[in-house]
């Protein structure tokens, strides 16, 4: 049960990164690792660190894309609803939730509308991976 709660906390942290109201990654690291899943926690922490040290809009857009495309099977009805909300400007990065994104499989066109610019996902993935790898080498501080 505890493992599920910590995984939920990690997903919530990802949502907060998108909304720009996440806690400092150094302050929440131990909490996100309570179930012993340090690698999973570091992935989210790497996103937060990348957002704080680089192009925050691109990091946010990449997270929206990943939540949308890799968090469940395609839900056509939800996808249609979200695309309409994005097109009308009724949904922004500030009010997006994991539940809204899950299974919508958004194309980059919609991510661009949300972010306000093109996202170089290859560059951002590479930068986040570098941060993640640096974190793997550093000891976890309690």
pLDDT digits (tens, 9 = 90+) for 89-138: 999 999 999 999 999 999 999 999 999 999 999 999 999 999 999 998 87
- Does any domain span residue 27? yes
Q: Is residue 126 part of a domain?
A: yes
Structural domain range at position 48: 2-137
- Is residue 4 very low, low, confident or very high in pLDDT (cuts 50, 70, 90)? confident
Does 48 fall in a domain? Answer: yes
User: Cβ(101)–Cβ(66) under 8 Å?
Assistant: no
From the list 99, 123, 101, the residue with the least C-alpha distance to 110 is: 101
Whether the Cβ atoms of residue 48 and residue 16 lie closer than 8 Å to each other: no
- Domain-embedded: residue 81: yes
pTM above 0.85, yes or no: yes
Residue 65 lies in a domain: yes
Residue 95 makes CB contacts below 8 A (sequence gap 6+) with: 19
Distance CA 88, CA 70 (A): 25
Total tally of structural domains belonging to the chain: 1
Residue 142 lies in a domain: no
Q: Per the domain annotation, does 95 fall within a domain?
A: yes
Q: What's the pLDDT at 3? A: 60
């Amino acid at each position: 049960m505890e493992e599920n709660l910590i995984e939920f906390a990690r997903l919530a942290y990802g949502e907060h990164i998108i909304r720009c109201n996440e806690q400092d990654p150094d302050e929440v690291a131990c909490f996100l690792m309570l179930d012993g899943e340090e690698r999973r926690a570091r992935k989210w922490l790497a996103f937060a660190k990348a957002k704080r040290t680089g192009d925050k809009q691109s990091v946010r857009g990449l997270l929206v894309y990943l939540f949308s495309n890799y968090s469940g099977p395609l839900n056509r009805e939800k996808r249609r609803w979200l695309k309409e909300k994005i097109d009308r400007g009724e949904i922004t990065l500030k009010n997006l939730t994991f539940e809204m994104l899950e299974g919508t499989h958004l194309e980059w066109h919609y991510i661009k509308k949300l972010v306000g610019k093109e996202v170089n996902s290859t560059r951002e993935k590479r930068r986040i991976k570098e941060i993640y790898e640096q974190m793997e080498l550093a000891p976890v501080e309690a």
